[in-house]
Amino acid sequence: MTETDFRMSMERARELREQIALYDYQYYVMDAPTIPDSEYDTLFRELQDIEARHPEWITVDSPTRRVGGQPRTGFREVQHQIPMLSLANGFTEEDIRHFDRRVRDDLGMGEVEYACEPKFDGLAVSLVYDRGILVEGSTRGDGTTGEEVTANLRTIAAIPLRLPQDPPPERLEIRGEVLMLKKDFEALNETQALEGEKLFVNPRNAAAGALRQLDSRLTARRPLFFYAYGVGETVGFSLPDTHSGLLDQLVSLHFPVAIQRRVVMGAEGLLGFFSELQAMRESLPYQVDGVVYKVNHLPLQETLGFVSRAPRFAIAHKFPAEEALSEVLQIEIQVGRTGVLTPVARLKPVFVGGVTVTNATLHNEDEVQRKDVRVGDHVWIRRAGDVIPEVVSVIKDRRPVGTHLFRMPEQCPVCGSAVAREEGEAASRCTGGLYCQAQRKQALLHFSQRRAMNIDGLGDKLVDALVDSGLVKTAPDLYQLTVEQLLSLPRMGLKSAENLLAAIEKSRFTTLARFIFSLGIRHVGEATARDLAGYLGGLEPLMIATEEDLQCVPDVGPVVSGSLRQFFCEPHNREVIQRLLALGVHWPASSQGEQAGLRPLQGKSLVLTGTLPHMGREEAKARIEAAGGRVTASVSRRTDFLVAGEAAGNKLDQAKALGVAVLDESQLMSLLEKKHT
């Protein structure tokens, strides 16, 4: 090949990539193809031939890379720089009016402008573009940590591999939903039936299974689609003033965005949009389970901020639940982590809201008796909020002869302990506490979960094995396990045993907030645990605090304070805590015994960037929180300090531009050791 031919071939490959990307956008996103399929196939094969002869010319954004690559052995974790938060749900007109009133009151405005859009029934994902090239894709996961599925997301033709913007933003994170269109789902199931394969239950399940394939070539065979609905981390990307303007901006970048979207004023506008979308629900090309409302102006969103794990400026308005008729085959009792006995109706399988339902909650004894649900009854089943199946009502004229009223058992079906019910409470509870096997397993799972003590690898099956074998009865027993003991368990190899012990060892160093949450105290979630740790500053002050003392903590009322006092007054609970401390569970010393006003970083907001060789990011975060500070993902004018380690990234430039104080690791350590008087 001559020099001229070489350059012409290289230029032709570039032209083909650009042409095919444009045709993909026109076909998949705009639904307006401009060339016949045969011509498209000819161009695609030409590009494949050129790249086969010159593999060094293959680029990361080449359309030929959508076919998938070699299977992987697993998914690595991805930390979202800005958490992918879930939305609060509204189910009634009054819920939405209340949301609007709260927003108006918080903003001090008479009427608020909202952006409305469908709530897709798919899987939330994050797409990260570095200088215009798709470099990382991940699932939402728990909102903070997801799974990296870049290769699978690249197979989705509706996702641009390169942004059509010159110059492109330095870094742009697009957030949206992966789903399967209804027509593609029906065609897929037709193919499955013809091939004698198992049919998929609904589009969401089919999409979820495809996205989590370790072999991206299998993902490429599924007709997945993508809709964008927002952005996460941005660098060098100018945001408009409104969410609706942002969606228009995403369209200009060739991202598919829901056509059924609108800007409305006030609660009446929200409810009007909801009614319209509900009326066209069946005719939509994709499945939706409600509508999302967001305050349209982005500066007002920032003013409203967030609560716990949800934004205050947005809400999901769920469609009415779908119902179906079934038969109660049995009423069984489940014993939960806190000892609550819950009656569950075992049902004749019925298809409701896209899934096959075989059981439904009956909530508690009062609810069963109010509805008079009996074994043998025909009942209406509803998926409340499209999530939790429940029994709505009984068709009493179809009741068979010889049925019996339901009565809650007097003894726990798991451990045989007495069942008690407190005055004013609907729930009945097993009194077996830590001795009840049902509670023991759930308590250990709660204790070891990521947001508590974070013992990686300690899942359901392993907890079952540890408890059933008698090796572990309570949480402290975990810290006394040996390799030899673990190797005695079924399907436990040496490497797995060593990894588990390493994870247990690592968990000895935690934070006070995580430790409080890990204890599984009734009514004490993550946010309350953080409030208790932040206000009281130490474990001993918490354990001896009176109910009146506890109610001085923000958002702690009589119910939570009573639950805390009840928990810490139980000798066996104190014994478990003392054993954990004696076995080396600890947290930064600054959190022990300091009052909130004396902690050096009380109320301060910090951002970490780069490598911290002495402390590490996790320890630094724990110590900052123990000192009263808060670690956030991105730099803003509200940031008090940026902690810059080795190889600090763009956040350092952002901090300097905003005039944010910058600390190195040694300065952070000095600040943490400082005492305010």
**Pair 242, 302: CB distance under 8 Å:** no
Contacts of 137 (CB under 8 A, 6+ apart): 125, 126, 127, 128, 148, 149, 150, 152, 153, 154, 159
Report the distance separating Cα 18 and Cα 15, nearest Å: 5
Higher pLDDT, 102 or 6: 102
Report the distance separating Cα 662 and Cα 668, nearest Å: 10
Whether residue 406 is predicted with pLDDT greater than 60 in this model: the reply is yes
Task: Give me the CATH code for the 433-507 domain, please.
Answer: 1.10.150.20
Look up tokens 């819920």; give the residue: 95
| CB environment 479-496: b (16+ within 10 A), e (fewer) | bebeeebbeebeebeeee
- CATH assignment of 96-318, among 3.40.50.300, 3.30.470.30, 3.50.50.60, 3.20.20.70: 3.30.470.30
Contacts of 57 (CB under 8 A, 6+ apart): 10, 13, 50, 51
Whether residue 74 is predicted with pLDDT greater than 90 in this model: the reply is no
Judge residue 198's burial from the number of C-beta atoms within 10 Å of its C-beta, 0-12 exposed, 13-18 middle, 19 or more buried.
exposed
Question: What pLDDT does 1 receive?
Answer: 62
Angle ∠(50,53,58) on CA atoms, nearest 5:
65
- pLDDT (tens digit per residue) in 190-231: 888 788 777 776 788 889 888 888 888 888 888 999 999 999
Question: What pLDDT does 69 receive?
Answer: 52
Whether residue 321 is predicted with pLDDT greater than 70 in this model: the reply is no
What angle in degrees, to the nearest 10, is found between the helix axes of 437-448 and 460-468?
A: 130
User: Can you give the residue ranges of every domain in the chain?
Assistant: 3-58, 96-318, 323-398, 433-507, 512-587, 600-673
Question: What pLDDT does 592 receive?
Answer: 39
Active site residue 119: yes
Angle ∠(547,548,550) on CA atoms, nearest 5:
65
Whether residue 2 is predicted with pLDDT greater than 50 in this model: the reply is yes
Task: Calculate mean pLDDT across residues 150-159.
Answer: 93
Q: What's the one-letter identity of residue 484?
A: E
To the nearest 5 percent, what fractions of the chain are helix, strand and coil?
40, 20, 35
Among 252-261, 388-397, 585-594, 602-611, name the most confident range. 252-261
Question: What pLDDT does 600 receive?
Answer: 78
pLDDT band at 590 (very low <50, low <70, confident <90, very high): very low
Q: What is the mean pLDDT of the chain?
A: 87
Whether residue 459 is predicted with pLDDT greater than 50 in this model: the reply is yes
SS3 269: helix
Angstrom distances, CA of residue 403 to CA of 363, 376, 398: 20, 7, 12
pLDDT band at 493 (very low <50, low <70, confident <90, very high): very high
**Pair 265, 111: CB distance under 8 Å:** yes
Portion of the chain with pLDDT greater than 90, in percent: 48
Among 289-293, 337-341, 563-567, 615-619, name the most confident range. 289-293
pTM of structure? 0.54
Question: What pLDDT does 324 receive?
Answer: 83
Question: What pLDDT does 216 receive?
Answer: 85
Angstrom distances, CA of residue 211 to CA of 68, 141, 214, 404: 12, 13, 9, 47
pLDDT band at 591 (very low <50, low <70, confident <90, very high): very low
Report the distance separating Cα 634 and Cα 305, nearest Å: 14
**Pair 555, 531: CB distance under 8 Å:** yes
Q: Give the side-chain half-sphere CA count within 13 A for 349.
A: 3
pLDDT band at 75 (very low <50, low <70, confident <90, very high): confident
Fold classified for 600-673: Rossmann fold (3.40.50)
DSSP symbol at 598: G
pLDDT band at 184 (very low <50, low <70, confident <90, very high): very high
Whether residue 4 is predicted with pLDDT greater than 80 in this model: the reply is no
What kind of architecture, by CATH, is found in domain 3-58?
A: Orthogonal Bundle (1.10)
Whether residue 71 is predicted with pLDDT greater than 60 in this model: the reply is no
Identified catalytic residue from 119, 318, 371, 651? 119
Question: What pLDDT does 284 receive?
Answer: 92
Handedness of CA 72, 77, 78, 80 (dihedral sign): positive
Question: What pLDDT does 589 receive?
Answer: 63
Task: Give me the CATH code for the 512-587 domain, please.
Answer: 1.10.150.20
Portion of the chain with pLDDT greater than 70, in percent: 93
Nearest in space to 176 (alpha carbons), one of 127, 131, 212, 132: 127
DSSP symbol at 60: T
Question: What pLDDT does 28 receive?
Answer: 59
The string of DSSP codes covering 363-414 is: -SHHHHHHHT--TT-EEEEEEETTTEEEEEEE-GGGPPTT-------SB-TT
Question: What pLDDT does 596 receive?
Answer: 44
Question: What pLDDT does 97 receive?
Answer: 96
- pLDDT (tens digit per residue) in 106-142: 999 999 999 999 999 889 999 999 999 999 999 998 7
Task: Give me the CATH code for the 323-398 domain, please.
Answer: 2.40.50.140
SS3 456: coil
- pLDDT (tens digit per residue) in 227-266: 999 999 999 999 999 999 999 999 999 999 999 999 999 9
Task: Establish whether domains 433-507 and 512-587 are of one fold.
Answer: yes
Judge residue 542's burial from the number of C-beta atoms within 10 Å of its C-beta, 0-12 exposed, 13-18 middle, 19 or more buried.
buried
Report the distance separating Cα 124 and Cα 86, nearest Å: 10
Question: What pLDDT does 271 receive?
Answer: 97
Question: Hey, how many other C-beta atoms are within 10 angstroms of the C-beta on 157?
Answer: 21
- Sheet of 133-139: strand order equals 133-139, 123-130, 171-179, 225-235
Whether residue 454 is predicted with pLDDT greater than 90 in this model: the reply is yes
